[in-house]
Amino acid sequence: DAGVIQSPRHEVTEMGQEVTLRCKPISGHNSLFWYRQTMMRGLELLIYFNNNVPIDDSGMPEDRFSAKMPNASFSTLKIQPSEPRDSAVYFCASRTWDRSNYGYTFGSGTRLTVV
């Protein structure tokens, strides 16, 4: 298994531009999570999906952020327009509901820098 795959690994963009982060979860995992990591706020849960359906997006900072999961093997997190304060590392994680193998697997993250 290739694990959770995130792309790109690094993204540098100018303020005001649209940014799209991508995630491919582990095949067979039922839930997908987007986290943001900053020095000031630590690891924050932004949104999560169960069976491709958004369940809780209360962690999404504002309307500039949106996330989609069109199918079981792909999710995107979009920021439009981007601002310097969005600079952070964004992690995607997937999880199985199988209690015998319960756990979250994280991708390597996307380091976003907005200048």
Partner 1 sequence: AQSVTQLGSHVSVSEGALVLLRCNYSSSVPPYLFWYVQYPNQGLQLLLKYTSAATLVKGINGFEAEFKKSETSFHLTKPSAHMSDAAEYFCAVGNNNDMRFGAGTRLTVKP
Nearer to partner 1, 49 or 79 (CB): 49
Asked whether position 103 contacts partner 1 by CB under 8 A, the answer is yes
Task: Report how far residue 96's alpha carbon sits from residue 30's, in angstroms, rounded to the nearest whole number.
Answer: 5
Q: How far is the CB of 29 from partner 1 (least distance, A)?
A: 14
Asked whether position 1 contacts partner 1 by CB under 8 A, the answer is no
Nearer to partner 1, 18 or 98 (CB): 98
Asked whether position 96 contacts partner 1 by CB under 8 A, the answer is no
Per residue, the 3-state secondary structure of the chain, as one string, reads CCCCEEECCEEEECCCCCEEEEEECCCCCCEEEEEEEECCCEEEEEEEEECCEEEECCCCCCCCEEEEEEECCEEEEEECCCCHHHCEEEEEEEECCCHHHCCEEECCCEEEEEC
Q: What single-letter amino acid sits at 66?
A: S
Q: How far is the CB of 31 from partner 1 (least distance, A)?
A: 8
Q: In this chain, which of 45, 64, 72, 76 binds partner 1, going by CB under 8 A?
A: 45
Total residues contacting partner 1 by CB under 8 A comes to: 20
Q: Name the residues that contact partner 1, by CB under 8 A.
A: 33, 35, 42-43, 45, 48, 55-56, 91, 93, 95, 99, 102-109
